[in-house]
Amino acid sequence: MPFIQTSLFSETLGMPTEINVVIPHLPDGDIRNKAKLPVLYLLHGLGGDHKEWTRQSSIERYAESKGVALVMPRADRSYYTDMKQGGAYFTYLSEELPELVSYLFPLSRRREDTFVAGISMGGYGAFKLALRCPERYAAAASLSGALDIVGRVNGPNGFQPGEAERIFGDPGRLQGSGDDLLALLPKAAKSGFLPRLYQCCGTEDFLYEGNRIFLRHAEQAGLKVAYEESPGEHEWGYWDRQARRMMEWLPCR
């Protein structure tokens, strides 16, 4: 599988940024016919970067078996948000990046070929993309995601001093906003047009209760979520196991 590490200039962010891309093997006939590949955007966690999925897991091997390309962007500690003080990472991920990578690589732009997944902060980002841009993704997966963002900002959270305010602004205005996944759920349910959702979390994970809260809100909104929990902590041994299960679940053509 070709593995590409590249730097590109983002007009949205106003600066260069990095992505890693993995392209599965294409038969000669598909190359001649300029076949377009299904694509999975993989989002990193807080304190991680665009390299962690390939350094810490066997995701390349899992993707090869499904014939899916991987795009792994760098988003720093943005929570995949148009930050109040910082970059417009949500706009970059949802609008600019798909345009750039489909121009550079043989990737499909069809909704049925487009997926997003992430760990921890990236799980939050993946579900935010799915709930706010359902017309663009066929499926989204959260592995140990920080899904109850209001509870996380207002409790023990791992943010640096003043960081939550730089990302989200006034914490008092976060609940009910476009960055609050729990508030987005009933709106998504009413739309009747939602990607398939896969959610998992280890029962020893510090984000476990937040995952249960998200699941309850999803069920109350009438949304179906493929949910799994099992013994596990907030670490790559658990995520690698679940990444394989997530790839098996992914509705690829």
What is the reported pLDDT for 253?
67
Dist CA 131 CA 68 (whole Å): 22
What is the reported pLDDT for 90?
98
- Decide if 54 contacts 71 (C-beta within 8 A): no
Would you write out the chain's pLDDT as a tens digit for each of its 253 residues? 789 999 999 999 999 999 999 999 866 545 545 679 999 999 999 999 999 999 999 999 999 989 999 999 999 999 999 999 999 999 999 999 999 999 999 999 999 999 999 999 999 999 999 999 999 999 999 999 999 999 999 877 678 889 999 999 998 899 999 999 999 999 988 888 889 999 999 999 999 999 999 999 999 999 999 999 999 999 999 999 999 999 999 998 6
How is residue 182 written in tokens? 């729990």
- Decide if 50 contacts 7 (C-beta within 8 A): no
User: What CA–CA distances, in Å, run from 82 to 88, 105, 206, 229?
Assistant: 4, 26, 26, 31
User: Can you name the residues that pair with 199 across neighbouring β-strands?
Assistant: 142, 227
Count CB atoms within 10 A of the CB of residue 84: 12
Dist CA 6 CA 240 (whole Å): 24
Digit-coded pLDDT (tens) for 67-81? 999 999 999 999 999
| Cα dihedral across residues 102, 106, 107, 110: positive or negative | positive
What is the reported pLDDT for 159?
85
Report the amino acid identity of residue 242. Answer: Q
191 contacts: CB under 8 Å, gap ≥ 6: 134
96 contacts: CB under 8 Å, gap ≥ 6: 10, 11, 12
- The reply to whether the predicted model has a pTM over 0.85 is yes
- Decide if 132 contacts 124 (C-beta within 8 A): no
Dist CA 111 CA 90 (whole Å): 18
Digit-coded pLDDT (tens) for 72-114? 999 999 999 999 999 999 999 999 999 999 999 999 999 999 9
Dist CA 216 CA 213 (whole Å): 5
Helix, strand, coil shares of the chain, percent, nearest 5, are: 40, 20, 40
User: Can you name the residues that pair with 141 across neighbouring β-strands?
Assistant: 117, 198
Domains of the chain: 3-249 (3.40.50.1820)
Q: Are strands 69-73 and 15-22 parallel, antiparallel or unpaired?
A: antiparallel
What is the reported pLDDT for 31?
53
